[in-house]
Amino acid sequence: MDRAELSITVHRTGDEAVLRLAGEIDMQTAAQLSTVVNEVLTEPPPRIVLDLAGVTFCDSQGLGTLVVLSRKASHAQSLLVLTNVGEFLLRVLDITGLRSALMIRNDTPTP
């Protein structure tokens, strides 16, 4: 448990790519997230959905990465959407004022 683990699986459907994230996002794993999203953006779908249901931790580095990726997506005429955002992460997004800047779709509120 001494290492941050982040696993990402990519599912591409017609007009969106869904990335399921599981694990922790911090300075160690944020780069991994960037790499995957950047790969997806080489053929940008209209929407990239980050499913954060499996994310147990995300720090300010992770938030910074999400900001950067959202910006890149929007430059590539794509839209980065966060879904299944955990309750604590939502609080963090509120505190930092990022909730209104990032696209968040919590269809089924995570417990």
Q: At what angle do helices 60-75 and 87-96 cross, to 10 degrees?
A: 80
Site membership for another protein, residue 98 (CB under 8 A): yes
Q: Does 97 bind another protein (CB under 8 A)?
A: yes
Q: Does 3 bind another protein (CB under 8 A)?
A: yes
Do 66 and 82 form a contact (C-beta atoms < 8 A)? yes
CA dist 84 and 74 (Å) reads 21
Which one, 11 or 31, has the nearer CB to another protein? Answer: 31
At its nearest, how many Å lie between another protein and the CB of residue 104? Answer: 12
Q: Which of 75, 61, 69 is nearest to 103 (CA)?
A: 69
**Binding range to another protein, per CB under 8 A, among 8-16, 19-27, 36-44, 45-53:** 19-27
Percent helix, strand, coil in the chain (nearest 5)?
35, 35, 35
Residues that bind another protein in the complex, under the rule CB under 8 A: 1-4, 24, 26-28, 57, 59-61, 63-64, 67-68, 70-71, 74, 88, 92, 95-98, 100-102
